[in-house]
Amino acid sequence: MEYRRLGKSGLQLSVLSFGSWVTFHGQVDDSLSDRLMGVAYDNGINFFDNAEIYALGESEKMMGRVLQKKNWDRSSYTVSSKAYFGWRGENNKPNQTGLSRKHLTEACHEALERLQLSYLDIFYCHRPDRNVPVEEVVWTMNILIQQGKILYWGTSEWAASEIMEAHMIAKQNNLIGPVVEQPEYNLFRREKVELEYARIYETVGLGNTIFSPLASGILTGKYNNGIPEGSRLGLQGYEWLKNRNLLDANLARVAKLQTVSDKLGTSLATLSIAWVIKNPHVTSAILGATKETQLTENLKALEIYPQLTPELMKEIDAIMGTAPNAPTH
């Protein structure tokens, strides 16, 4: 396993990590999640990602049960949670969502209870909240750090300007700013990571723990001939994912990308993950898996990404046609 520093912080994360979005409680049970987390940990993965909204809190409960059973040395792994959406779904009342001091504090306590942990390594603001002053968010996160309930804090799907505002406030008040962003990043969605955040990697030292490196499975090629039974895009409640990703143009590009994976003697999935971690600004790519074979195949990306030469990267760009255009002024 390779480990990368989280931005300018001292925290080291495995370049491949394990997440629970959609899968935990939705697609896998306790015994399978236990096996998958075990395989991940045994292969050097030290970062496990979660959030209050995943399966409305049940995902964190499941991960908590596994961690209790595993009894790994707590200092050997990192766990995250995220707050914004709340966990009560349609029953959320005012203050049970968003980034107010009240919700962030209560969401942190609830996550610790569900995960059966005494602290979170990383706590994310799952989305920006335009109804809450950024000062309130920065101060709340610092209070949670001072209380020992979280060690680092970050953002997810924030704009570069919003991240920089948080850093400006932190600097003015001698507080700790966000060290990590969690954006979507894959061969279809590149703008934020490659263009929008380009300057702030150097200025404030932003780390990235990217999600959806396989674009919800599109980049595995398994949707080229329809939606397989039990797959993520066939799940009830995830129609928005299907409508967003399952486009004929995307499938045509994936079919052409097969020529590159064939050259390397690897799978489309492994190639796509390898391409993501080839970017040095990616601290960790979060993997989601419902089978051990999927996870072990994805882990091969560590062997493939050093083989991605500049020529191959150009060939991939030509096939995908998704490279963002830098501004000309």
Active site residues: 54
Helices (H), the chain: 30-42, 58-70, 101-115, 134-146, 160-172, 191, 200-203, 239-245, 248-264, 268-278, 292-299, 301-304, 310-320
Q: Of 217, 223, 211, nearest to 185 (Cα)?
A: 211
Alpha-carbon gap, residue 276 to 212, rounded angstroms: 10
Residue 67: count of CB within 10 angstroms of its CB: 19
Which residues is 184 bridged to in the sheet?
Answer: 211
DSSP sequence for 49-117? E--TTGGGGHHHHHHHHHHHHH---GGG-EEEEEESS-SSGGGPPTTSSSS-HHHHHHHHHHHHHHHT-
Two tokens, residue 157? 């799907």
